[in-house]
Structure 1
């Protein structure tokens, strides 16, 4: 345990005791958050960090992050956190099944009664002192949630997330700023609002970059799979081979990661390593793209454009004929029957060798 004395001034001591953080501290924390956001590759964890750090910066008890749907017609729940109720949903904890927030009503008009939908539509930041005493927004759902859980929703800060093209890609909602000294609910200050606006901007850029990297990786993987599938389909004899190798490779890697004892107990593949392994498996036969068709479709070991076992057969026929002629001319002093038996024995040996070559020439035979 480290017992070295730490020197702090009286102002820092008072701030530490009261729990208050100066605006300078918030800015310093915001810088660190920006670094963390830019370095996080896992999108689910990135979403969690955005809400966690936004709550820390404003001392908010709860927070919700919505992500804009691809067709820009609704907001999808991405993260829900509530410290008092010990609620942590979304991100690495799994998908949230709550209904999405529609940006338009059934009659086609914009849904400006819902504060999150309004922020997504207008792009404005909304700072509410008490959601139970505010005009222009419908908080019936919030009130029902409070009645069911015994919670009291009060102060709320809602801000849009804009990407580099100034498009709204999500909405960050913070609930119940807490007084660090008393724990009571207070309003979100103007300083906190500025900090959250800056955080929202950084978060949007980090999310956009993360999605861009993910999309590029997905496109690259799809490109590789398309080429591999094309290679597989060039020959009916290798059809599906690359896909099966990739599936088998990943199954083995997953089992190794699950192993807790034995030779592979200390081996753990990271997400990046698993991705690289999957790519390598799909690429392992890429050289076949330039392989001649007659080689891909080889049914036998001696096949090129045609099966050369027939050339072997032709040569053996010539050898047999030449052997008979040579045997008769060289062994004139021997009886014809004896010469014939000797020739037949040699020919039988040649036939046996030919049958052996025919068998091992088959594609399924191993040498």
Structure 2
């Protein structure tokens, strides 16, 4: 409906409705397309072009429409506009006054032309060539700069050939139409600017959270990449859960905003580790602190071996008078030397923590610790001090109870840090998602001992992503890179033990997330054949 068929109040109402629609549109291409389409509808224009102003001082073609020719390029059409941008300044820095769109952008003024063929102010040679090739007749032009609330021209809206409703012939754009399109262009410019600002803020926010994650990864060479891989794995699992069409997750879905919220939580899930001491994060052996104290223990054993040799030599000297033997041949010396070396080797093996420590092994360490050696001050001292004994007697892994508490505390610190931030509405669940990555479905996890029913589905997703990344990582100080099949066996057992969500495990397996992730991040030698029937807890997908 053209302006001739509408009264002024209807036009104002339409303009208001357009403003509201522009303010809520989130997709950039649809926003630009809506601007051009509504401008054409208000004026009865047959065609139009929307340009955006680039930082390199050019006008880039965003959308081109000509209804009578069936032309629709750019925007959501999927068809690219293969035209070079319009330059606003020439090589000498002089303003481009020949192109009408460039002049409107530079001057900030609207140009209303009745007939391009009779206009002598601007160069329409390109327009005439287009008309020659297509048989079209480009006549009336309304070219409006899009000026935002900061008085910056961010683009140009150009309409071509207003059509008379009664005769169907091309007419000029009226003064009222010009005013309304100018008002629309102003509204559109504000909407585009706001959308650009929102997108810029999001890009800054994303860059900051990735910077924090990178700093945590850089804190330790053994966890480098963990904070970058977990978000990717969480996204894969979220997509898989949404694709699942059987079982409890058959009706599960997530919006783009909800997936983004999960992604942010995944990037920040370990931010509390920024307070964890490096020597705890990097502890590769039981006796490691700033350095591996096994070397100190080996030195003490070397002193004991030296003392044993000296004592054997003394006994032989005493038995043989003053003659010094070539080598100590005392049987007691040989027995003591062999015993010391067996005990030293046992301590070295125990230091790695690759196997569980039995009670008899712990008692053996106590026995070895009871040996005495003479230190640099000439004093008798235990071969192992209390702290070394405590570390060497660790049942599994390399961390003491206190060090494990320090590691576990990173989740509580993560929650505290994240809960202190002022989130927008669509990110308010980030602390909950991030804080649940070490919780278990049976309530035996930490820091809050949450059960499955107390956790949201995205929080359970993050828990699986964190576990699987850790199982398959090749850069941990306490283990070698694990084959894919072994990692899946452990993950499946965790399902049976109610440590991870069973429904998400099924989605993880049914949709091949494990292989998708393996192809992207695992070394070729880790990707072995996976026998699904051998995976604990695996069930085939339903019909």
For Structure 1 versus Structure 2, the TM-score category normalised by the shorter chain is 0.7 to 0.9
Specify whether residues 360 and 179 from structure 1 end up closer, same or farther in structure 2 by C-alpha distance, changes over 3 A only: same
1:363 aligns to 2:478 (yes or no): yes
- For residues 106-255 of structure 1, the aligned pairs below 5 Å read 106-254=91-239
For the 8 Å contact 1:20–1:181, the answer to whether it is kept is: no
1:85 aligns to 2:69 (yes or no): yes
Distance (whole Å) between structure 2 residues aligned to residue 171 and residue 254 of structure 1: 39
Specify whether residues 211 and 301 from structure 1 end up closer, same or farther in structure 2 by C-alpha distance, changes over 3 A only: farther
Provide, for residues 9-53 of structure 1, a one-character-per-residue CA deviation record: whole Å limited to 9, x for no partner.
xxxxxx89x972223222111000001111112222111111111
- For residues 254-293 of structure 1, the aligned pairs below 5 Å read 254=239, 259=243, 262=246, 266-293=251-278
Give secondary structure in 1 for the equivalent of 2:64: strand
2:59 corresponds, among 67, 75, 81, to: 75
Specify whether residues 154 and 270 from structure 1 end up closer, same or farther in structure 2 by C-alpha distance, changes over 3 A only: farther
Give secondary structure in 2 for the equivalent of 1:96: coil
Give secondary structure in 1 for the equivalent of 2:69: coil
Give secondary structure in 2 for the equivalent of 1:77: strand
Deviation (angstroms), 1:315: 5.6
For the 8 Å contact 1:301–1:363, the answer to whether it is kept is: no
1:22 aligns to 2:7 (yes or no): yes
For the 8 Å contact 1:111–1:118, the answer to whether it is kept is: yes
Distance (whole Å) between structure 1 residues aligned to residue 286 and residue 46 of structure 2: 72
Deviation (angstroms), 1:268: 4.6
Equivalent residue, structure 2, for 1:37:
22
Specify whether residues 250 and 183 from structure 1 end up closer, same or farther in structure 2 by C-alpha distance, changes over 3 A only: farther
Deviation (angstroms), 1:200: 0.9
Q: Give the superposed CA RMSD.
A: 3.3
1:58 aligns to 2:43 (yes or no): yes
Q: How many residue pairs were aligned?
A: 319
- For residues 282-361 of structure 1, the aligned pairs below 5 Å read 282-300=267-285, 316-319=364-367
Specify whether residues 58 and 317 from structure 1 end up closer, same or farther in structure 2 by C-alpha distance, changes over 3 A only: closer
Deviation (angstroms), 1:142: 1.0
For the 8 Å contact 1:19–1:181, the answer to whether it is kept is: no
Distance (whole Å) between structure 1 residues aligned to residue 275 and residue 397 of structure 2: 27
Unpaired stretches in structure 1, ≥5 consecutive residues: 1-14, 323-354
For the 8 Å contact 1:225–1:282, the answer to whether it is kept is: yes
Deviation (angstroms), 1:272: 2.1
TM-score by length of 1: 0.77
For the 8 Å contact 2:146–2:185, the answer to whether it is kept is: yes
Deviation (angstroms), 1:358: 7.8
Distance (whole Å) between structure 1 residues aligned to residue 47 and residue 100 of structure 2: 16
Provide, for residues 131-171 of structure 1, a one-character-per-residue CA deviation record: whole Å limited to 9, x for no partner.
11111111111111122222221111001111111111111
Distance (whole Å) between structure 2 residues aligned to residue 64 and residue 315 of structure 1: 84
Distance (whole Å) between structure 2 residues aligned to residue 208 and residue 50 of structure 1: 14
